[in-house]
Chains A and B, each alone.
Chain A
Amino acid sequence: EVQLVESGGGLVQPGGSLRLSCAASGFTFSSYCMSWVRQTPGKGLEWVANIKQDGSEKYYMDSVKGRFTISRDNAKNSLYLQMNSLRAEDTAVYYCARGCRSFYWGQGTLVTVSS
């Protein structure tokens, strides 16, 4: 069974940083492109970033370029999202997802950016 378990969310002040982690199991992690997708009540679902199987290619939504970094460790079956210079508008539930064209979803982790 595919399992994706996110961690690392929480409350952070504007301008702060957080690192999200996603532990994958139930499939061959190194064979899959992986993504982060976020959900807010106001903007719905938003694709954030993706990374190819070997980490050689990474893509980001415009509003997080230069602030967020997606990475993976295939030996640890783990996906990461380093989020710097956080803004209030980054407040959302962040989902780890298997795939880059369609998604199998994790359960999500809440990130709240507020002073």
Chain B
Amino acid sequence: QSALTQPPSASGSPGQSVTISCTGTSSDVGGYNYVSWNQQHPGKAPKLIIYEVSKRPSGVPDRFSGSKSGNTASLTVSGLQAEDEADYYCSSYAGSNVVFGGGTKLTVL
């Protein structure tokens, strides 16, 4: 069982927006502004798409955005595109370690 709770699946049609939640505790998500989101396509390594709750690495489209309220973080993908179909994992700094969510499979209908 993962430390952070994510819905196992999410879906949306091209052009729509979808939001994925990530719920932790005051010892991780709620205690630090170090929530990250990682995208993973089948057979590939994860890719960082959001760090420090809402910052995007260079090259990541602004269709991806992150936020946090209390112990729950969220990833919103706007203007869904076919290539956004992937697994998404949240993670949070938790002191000296990092905890992960179980992943959400995003399907573009």
Chain A positions near chain B (C-beta within 8 angstroms)? 35, 37, 43-47, 50, 59, 61, 95, 100-108
Do the beta carbons of A59 and B2 come within 8 Å of each other? no
Of chain A, the residue at the smallest CB distance from B98 is A47
Do the beta carbons of A103 and B46 come within 8 Å of each other? yes
> Beyond A44-B89, A45-B46, A45-B89, is A102–B34 a contact (Cβ under 8 Å)?
yes
Q: What 9 A-B pairs come out closest when comparing CB atoms?
A: A102-B51, A102-B36, A45-B100, A47-B98, A101-B93, A101-B34, A59-B96, A105-B45, A105-B46
Which chain B positions have C-beta within 8 A of A105?
Answer: 38, 45-48
Chain B positions near chain A (C-beta within 8 angstroms)? 2, 32, 34, 36, 38, 45-48, 51-52, 57, 89, 91, 93, 96-103
Which chain A positions have C-beta within 8 A of B103?
Answer: 44-45
> Beyond A45-B91, A102-B36, A102-B51, is A95–B45 a contact (Cβ under 8 Å)?
yes
Of chain A, the residue at the smallest CB distance from B6 is A44
Do the beta carbons of B2 and A44 come within 8 Å of each other? yes
Which chain A positions have C-beta within 8 A of B57?
Answer: 104
The smallest beta-carbon distance between A68 and chain B, in angstroms, is 14
Q: Knowing that A50-B96, A101-B32, A102-B52 are A-B contacts, what are 16 other residue pairs whose CB atoms are under 8 Å apart, sorted by A's residue number?
A: A45-B46, A45-B91, A50-B97, A59-B97, A95-B45, A100-B93, A101-B36, A101-B52, A102-B36, A102-B48, A103-B91, A104-B48, A105-B45, A105-B46, A105-B47, A108-B45
